[in-house]
Structure 1
Amino acid sequence: MAEAEIDYAAVFRALPGMVALLTPELVYADVNDEFARLSGRTREQLLGRYLFDVFPDNPNDAAATGARNLQASLGRVLATGERDTMALQRYDVESMERPGEWEERYWSPVNAPIFDADNRVKLLVHRVEEVTELIRARGGQQGSRARVLEAELYTRARELQEVNERLREAHAREREVALALQEAMLPAPGPVGHHRAAVRYRPAVGSLNVCGDWYDLVDLPGDRICVAVGDVVGHGLRAACVMGLLRSALSAASRVADGPAKALEVLGLYASSIEGAENTTVAETCIDWDSHTLTYSSAGHPPPALLRSDGTVEFLDQATDPPLGARAEDVDRPQATAAFTEGDILVLYTDGLIERRREDIDAGLARLAASLTRHRAADTEGLADTLLLELLPAAGATDDTALVIVRL
């Protein structure tokens, strides 16, 4: 017997709890019947309207925080792609029958993301349990003592929310300091020898998810340069400081070591003495224009991409070893060589450009290769901007991203 086709639109309308679908701009895309009934608004009064135009905070209550807390929760879902469950909220609603009068209401919300084919958040599911009657009934049954306790709990919840806001502000200040430190330590865009590279750094969204990634370009004797990208585990000021130490050490090692594998071996020894440097990933590629060769080695890092003039993309993945501190130091790191022709393009990047939650890394590499092939005619600066625009989530990445592009 064939299965009957399910009318999911009808299922959504008939769900017994309050559910709304919001766009990333927090505009109502759809609501089920229960949401319209319990919110006291018709579908016409909701659809296409900004959430906080329909449900602002009570202007008569200076301590009202419902709208602010809900906006923060929805922002976290957009930024992280993770579900966010909110504490019980008092969020008063203006009476439709008596404009200007506000009804005391209590809600228990959960917000969750819906992703599109590119793993970007395209909708937000806003599920709400209306518990006003439960709160009132509990107060009536248990008497004045219970009412006092309820009020105290609500007050403590508000105080906790205020503490969380202060913590977020402190984290935001740390982010500003870390970004300033990051900017000071990363080399400014400019020519290396008589060659020029397009470089980009994009910090992650959120107050702490920043400052583990770096890039570097080193001018070598002859018509040669070394290009490196790396990613320190962790975030914030500590990661920024570790990043600065490792970038400087690799830059120095690359000038004297016999190839990128030896430079990474030296860096691994140095990293073992630095707290927080373990499991750092690094990829380095040395470009020799006289011999038209790329010599490369990777410590657990995503492979550099070589965009050929004919549009094909080759990932340089024949010399990959574990990250720093995750291998026996008495074993030589691998090194490989690839030939290039004039007009080819070398791309080094960190995992923020390609990795997405719940997705195999091969999907991200394929997405990068397709974008490179489509835009191979662009100059390096234009190509760098296009890759970031196409490959990073529209709502902002949850990991920072470093990118270096060199036309060979």
Structure 2
Amino acid sequence: MSEENRGIDYAALFDAIPTPLSVLTPDLVITAANRAYLEIAGRTREEVVGRPLFEVFPENPNDPEADGARNLRASFQRVLDTGKPDTMLLQRYDIPVPGTDGEYQERYWSPLNTPVLGPDGSVVLIINRVEDATAYVRDSLARTGAVAGPPLDPMSGREIAEAELYARARELYEHNERLRRAHAREHQVALTLQKAMLPTHMPLKHRHAAVRYRPAAGSLNVCGDWYDLINLSEDRFAVAVGDVVGRGLEAASVMGQLRSALSASMRVADGPAQALYGLDLYARSLDGALATTTVKIDIDTHTRTLTYSSAGHLPPMLCHPDKRVEYLDQATDVPLAARSRPSHRPQAITTYTPGSVLILYTDGLVERRREAIDAGLERLAESLARHSDLDPEEIADNLLEDQGMNDGNPDDVALVVIRL
């Protein structure tokens, strides 16, 4: 503590702050409340401190449309989930009238909830700041005919303008709440869609593989990236990754259709190039499929060869036992449906030594703003070589860590790691 701060009574300072403040535990128990808070709430310190907030201020059971408590709980949860302040616009939250039998007083508040973080970054306390806007709102609603009766007190022109601002803020908040609820429903649909469309297990005959799927931070948790692994015969299996332009349910829907089409084509086509040619024909009839990138590899464990073809996708990487990383970039063509007319795709073959590691990935793993793509590819290749002696699950985790994916990736990421 600095010399000038020594001797300050912080408890007295907190109590003297004119802004109404209370301090809550993560379980929403009130641990402290200043004088201003107690005055606007009409409570004594003994009536609030040490008690759950929603026990002290329960929701008005006489108002079937009351949503203040639910909105406030949601705000606290956002603070706990993100560790960031959450500003709530105008809220109606009626409070019980002390000394009455179930009587509630109509009140309007403008809350701000701020986290106090512990050494490990977790939320240990929440500061709940509230401003009582009841007089402003009641006056504004009375003048517009929304409620009967005169304003609570005579108001100046400035206060009238503030009241109108509060009323508009309330409308905006309610609109935002409707958007939040709609987003939550869409989010649940997206999660269900993702689980239905992405494979959940490795091919039965090849267990030396790991996959990772990371949606972009802040997205609906489902996007246009996909991966697939299938058995072709006793000694052969196929792997593919792809990336549809865009995010959200529309991109996910296109992704599911393309993945299913490619999965079927992989089973009957004579090699990756023919499979991608058939997928290109299908993509031309599918809205939203333009410029999709994908790469497919057939792995023959008997001949120890990799046969591959790419439609505009970043090159898979093959790390040999001597740590040399080979880019599989000798059969790259344009993305799906990018040409005015379909044409046959190139195909290349390379050999591998048992113990090598193959990775396929989408661009979210390596692309960064204000950085050349080559820098991201070099960073990934170096990481792959450094961790190639580990098992596929550990390699996948380390690649994501080295590429900064554990801090929240700005774009979708699909990654497949295979020990050959």
Tell me the TM-score range normalised by the shorter chain.
0.5 to 0.7
Q: Does 1:205 align with 2:217?
A: yes
C-alpha distance in structure 2 between counterparts of 1:223 and 1:187, whole Å: 21
Q: Is residue 313–residue 373 contact of structure 1 (8 Å, CA) maintained in 2?
A: yes
Partner residue of 1:239 out of 248, 251, 259: 251
Q: 1:391 is matched with which residue?
A: 403
Matched residue of 1:234: which SS?
Answer: strand
TM-score norm. by structure 2 comes to 0.63
Q: 1:372 is matched with which residue?
A: 384
C-alpha distance in structure 2 between counterparts of 1:169 and 1:366, whole Å: 43
Query: Per the alignment, do residues 76 and 337 of structure 1 end up closer, same or farther by CA in structure 2, a change over 3 Å counting?
Result: farther
Q: 1:144 is matched with which residue?
A: 156
Query: Per the alignment, do residues 364 and 69 of structure 1 end up closer, same or farther by CA in structure 2, a change over 3 Å counting?
Result: farther
Q: 2:262 is matched with which residue?
A: 250
Deviations 1:211-235 (A, max 9, x none): 2111111211351111000112222
Partner residue of 2:287 out of 265, 275, 282: 275
Query: Per the alignment, do residues 341 and 254 of structure 1 end up closer, same or farther by CA in structure 2, a change over 3 Å counting?
Result: same
Equivalence map 1:107-146=2 (5 Å) = 144-146=156-158
Runs of 5+ unmatched residues, structure 2: 1-16, 18-30, 42-56, 58-67, 91-108, 113-154
Q: How far is 1:202 from its partner?
A: 1.9
C-alpha distance in structure 1 between counterparts of 2:370 and 2:88, whole Å: 30
Q: How far is 1:335 from its partner?
A: 1.6
C-alpha distance in structure 1 between counterparts of 2:397 and 2:306, whole Å: 24
Q: 2:237 is matched with which residue?
A: 225
RMSD across aligned C-alpha pairs, in angstroms? 4.1
TM-score norm. by structure 1 comes to 0.65
Deviations 1:49-87 (A, max 9, x none): xxxx99x99785898999x989979x9999xxxxxxx99
Matched residue of 2:156: which SS?
Answer: helix
Deviations 1:345-373 (A, max 9, x none): 11011122222223222221122112111
Matched residue of 2:222: which SS?
Answer: coil
Partner residue of 2:189 out of 162, 170, 177: 177
Q: How far is 1:383 from its partner?
A: 1.0
C-alpha distance in structure 2 between counterparts of 1:237 and 1:210, whole Å: 7
Q: 2:298 is matched with which residue?
A: 286
Q: How far is 1:177 from its partner?
A: 1.8
Q: 1:302 is matched with which residue?
A: 314
Matched letter for residue 317 of structure 2:
A
C-alpha distance in structure 2 between counterparts of 1:327 and 1:320, whole Å: 14
Runs of 5+ unmatched residues, structure 1: 1-39, 41-52, 79-85, 91-103, 108-142
Partner residue of 2:276 out of 264, 278, 294: 264
Greater RCO between the two (CA within 8 Å, min separation 6)?
1
Q: 1:332 is matched with which residue?
A: 344
Deviations 1:145-168 (A, max 9, x none): 343123212331243134223313
Q: Does 1:323 align with 2:344?
A: no
Q: Is residue 189–residue 199 contact of structure 1 (8 Å, CA) maintained in 2?
A: no
Partner residue of 2:357 out of 345, 358, 361: 345
Number of aligned residue pairs: 311
C-alpha distance in structure 1 between counterparts of 2:77 and 2:378, whole Å: 35
Q: Is residue 190–residue 220 contact of structure 2 (8 Å, CA) maintained in 1?
A: no
Which one has a bigger Cα radius of gyration?
2
Deviations 1:169-211 (A, max 9, x none): 3223312221222112222223343454212212222143622
Identity across the alignment (%):
57
